[in-house]
Structure 1
């Protein structure tokens, strides 16, 4: 099951990281301004946010296998259409199709594996779930640079086809047929919750993506969507708390200390992960003069560290619990980021590469530990909602991290373009990244210590879980 889901998920992860290094080339090839091409990424992320909350309801109606295959088919369709796009507008529209499918797949992957594990070996399961996340930063930028160097930009999307086709075949063959019984009452879609939560998330992400220019967070193009998004999400939260059943996402799970503390840490971890993914390539390109492929190659040590962290973190989570693994991981993320706060235009790569490797190990463990802790003590039926909550927390944290660090970097560098002044500005931004990460260290003590098996809702559900 793990291999089956990983093959399909790699298409989503690679597509995100490949396109992120190709925006300049797409702007030139499609004869469109960078402000418009930016929506190739922004539109995709907005679509992901709109559909993440639907994953739990869709799984209850279709079953995990059918939903996975349907979402993977949708991603394949979006990839084919994107490769055949004739202008910027059509490419943006087809990327939204990809985002709708990708938003369903990532929380569903975690849900299916955690339900199959029935609360056992949480560390090992989370190590498996994070394989695509670990491989994406390693291979994505390099693959994207090679594709643009050797072939047409359309191959950025054609490379998804083998993953989708093989992943769909493996899913049909290996995933259990868990479609709901015909006699089972059908879960009704919370339409009002959908109209509040999904546009709310999209508005928040859109507002954060518009943080640019001297106004920063004070601009109307930022404040209006942010305030609107917060109002919509707040309205959904109040409404969901007053409903005993049927909410689009069961936010009552945040009353569990494990879910609440894990979501908070994943939010802060998202700031560290996605914020650094924005800062590090820019430092290598703007200060050291590397191209997109060169910057991607220099980031390989961090990706290798994150890949190595899977086995180490998973083993220790099952042995000592997620609390102390997360505590050590976030402390090492902060410590290993400090060298970048002292970077100059001539800082030796021999000094930065080991720091990146250690940072990758710590960052990988820092994401695995709280993600696994969120499922401790949950019932089988509560796992889909926990997957959605943690996924949204991480993605919102990433959007906040990119927006905050972009503003800090802009104000630190000003209008200067000299390597020395740019390096000083990047140093300031990295110090803020250290501070955000350090704030998470004491919160790790709120995580559960040793994981316990999830409690089944009832005997029938326990039997169904055992079959899966």
Structure 2
């Protein structure tokens, strides 16, 4: 069921929906720049600070599929409006937070409402531009805005943190929410899926608790992998995720139809996307810490210094898009992770007294090229061989894999960092900075190993004739880093 829009109104709707995607993506990076200042002000520990990023990514990724179902069944415009208001309220809560736990809760709530916003916006875009040249243009604009979101977040976070206060990195969302909410009321038509639709509540609960237990278990690993609590939470996470798979195989309208992920090629693409997410969300956070804490860059300079990674991805993506039909996705997904791994290995050579232009910049450019070679084919493989009624769930799954990979990866990298850095607070001056650099270096090496494993996944799982690995038909394919 849907209400048609006039030609001019559709383009206004595109602006509103693109703004939403910008907010959802930039909120993944804007807080990273502000985190060192927020950590100091709120007294967050090194393990606690990672939860400011993890809470957002985990809630977003774990609830994205449920958010899509709510949008389809309850009404996409209605879900969009509620998501907007909730996201704004959570942003204000985070902006006035007086403790680390309040900030972490606010970030989790932001992720929850982002999980309603993102699929609702994509579904509304799909029904507003159902076919033809206008559809291709609309998705190109939407994807470009999404791709720019990370860069906008880094710059805006740097400006607000340096010239105002870290809290404005959250409070600034109120402006976007007001524009998006009013714009949706004026220019977006309601639509929903027809038929007898039922929510897979049990599936949503088990996957959310399972992922949460898994991530918390990894975060406890910094005190020791053999600790009873660490083992207990990791085991609980595995059991709950296994229960989720069992539930999905039994319910009539599953949150995640297993036919989407059991396909070898598509499953491989989701795994590669998860590893890429661990690097883009997890490892790059430690790059921000190195730039600000070790190299002493102010927030704005740190944001600018991080930009070459995003710019390299945006430059590489169109080139990869043209290469994709020529060589197919398999060579790109084998080479791309290895290129990123080379960049990470180079980055792991950082020292406390090193130069950004010698030790960091070349690595970011190489990593960006490799990531561009990953994101485009992965987004395409997510829809290869998928029936039209599963396209939304497949697209949501590849984006959920990015966020979940980021939250799990960040927890693992934090454990690696803690094991490598020792007790830097007991040291002083240059020795303390050297300890930090050693810890960050270890996380980059761990990320390089993860990317090498992603290349192996591509070798063994992404197989078949080139023509069979490319999607057919008029399906939306968004290639972006967010």
Structure-2-length-normalised TM-score: 0.80
Q: Alpha carbons of 1:141 and 1:384: their partners in 2 closer, same or farther (altered >3 Å)?
A: same
Counterpart residue number, 2:412: 404
> Is residue 329 from structure 1 mapped to residue 336 from structure 2 by the alignment?
yes
Consecutive unaligned residues of structure 1, counting only runs of 5 or more, are 457-468
Pairwise CA distance, 1:386? 1.3
> Is residue 370 from structure 1 mapped to residue 378 from structure 2 by the alignment?
yes
Q: Alpha carbons of 1:412 and 1:439: their partners in 2 closer, same or farther (altered >3 Å)?
A: same
Counterpart residue number, 2:169: 156
CA distance in 1, matches of 2:123, 2:463: 20
Counterpart residue number, 2:253: 246
Q: Alpha carbons of 1:277 and 1:315: their partners in 2 closer, same or farther (altered >3 Å)?
A: same
Moved more, 93-102 or 258-267: 93-102
Counterpart residue number, 1:196: 206
Moved more, 283-292 or 295-304: 283-292
CA distance in 1, matches of 2:348, 2:44: 36
Counterpart residue number, 1:47: 59
What does residue range 182-261 of structure 1 map to in structure 2 within 5 Å? 184-213=194-223, 215=224, 217-243=225-251, 245-261=252-268
Q: Alpha carbons of 1:132 and 1:218: their partners in 2 closer, same or farther (altered >3 Å)?
A: farther
Contact 2:57 2:406 in 1 (8 A): no
CA distance in 2, matches of 1:320, 1:123: 23
Pairwise CA distance, 1:143? 2.1
CA distance in 2, matches of 1:357, 1:222: 37
Contact 1:380 1:455 in 2 (8 A): no
Q: RMSD value over aligned CA atoms?
A: 3.6
Contact 1:194 1:248 in 2 (8 A): yes
Pairwise CA distance, 1:85? 4.9
Contact 1:207 1:224 in 2 (8 A): yes
Counterpart residue number, 1:282: 289
CA distance in 1, matches of 2:159, 2:350: 28
CA distance in 1, matches of 2:133, 2:241: 33
> Is residue 393 from structure 1 mapped to residue 401 from structure 2 by the alignment?
yes
Count how many residue pairs are aligned between Structure 1 and Structure 2: 450
Moved more, 131-140 or 392-401: 131-140
Helix, strand or coil: the match of 1:299?
helix
Counterpart residue number, 2:479: none
> Is residue 358 from structure 1 mapped to residue 371 from structure 2 by the alignment?
no
> Is residue 25 from structure 1 mapped to residue 37 from structure 2 by the alignment?
yes
Contact 1:122 1:317 in 2 (8 A): no
Q: Deviations over 1:247-303 (max 9, x none)?
A: 222122123234212111112212332232133223334543334444333212112
Helix, strand or coil: the match of 1:212?
helix
Moved more, 53-62 or 337-346: 337-346
Counterpart residue number, 1:76: 88
> Runs in 1 of length 4+ with deviation above 6 angstroms?
31-38, 117-127
Helix, strand or coil: the match of 2:65?
helix
CA distance in 1, matches of 2:243, 2:457: 27
Contact 2:77 2:120 in 1 (8 A): no
Contact 2:32 2:288 in 1 (8 A): no
Pairwise CA distance, 1:187? 0.7
Of residues 98, 101, 126 in structure 1, which corresponds to 2:113? 101
CA distance in 1, matches of 2:444, 2:263: 33
Helix, strand or coil: the match of 1:194?
helix
Helix, strand or coil: the match of 1:397?
helix
Counterpart residue number, 2:6: none
Contact 1:343 1:427 in 2 (8 A): yes
Contact 2:33 2:161 in 1 (8 A): no
Counterpart residue number, 2:453: 439
Helix, strand or coil: the match of 1:222?
helix
Counterpart residue number, 1:7: 19
Moved more, 404-413 or 118-127: 118-127
CA distance in 2, matches of 1:442, 1:44: 29
Pairwise CA distance, 1:434? 2.1
Q: Alpha carbons of 1:123 and 1:371: their partners in 2 closer, same or farther (altered >3 Å)?
A: farther
Q: Alpha carbons of 1:353 and 1:436: their partners in 2 closer, same or farther (altered >3 Å)?
A: same
Pairwise CA distance, 1:370? 0.7
Contact 1:130 1:368 in 2 (8 A): no
Of residues 428, 453, 460 in structure 1, which corresponds to 2:472? 453
Pairwise CA distance, 1:237? 0.2
Q: Alpha carbons of 1:177 and 1:356: their partners in 2 closer, same or farther (altered >3 Å)?
A: same
> Is residue 295 from structure 1 mapped to residue 298 from structure 2 by the alignment?
no
Q: Deviations over 1:416-464 (max 9, x none)?
A: 66255654554444333222212222433516634232599xxxxxxxx
Counterpart residue number, 1:464: none
Contact 2:351 2:437 in 1 (8 A): yes
Q: Alpha carbons of 1:227 and 1:123: their partners in 2 closer, same or farther (altered >3 Å)?
A: farther
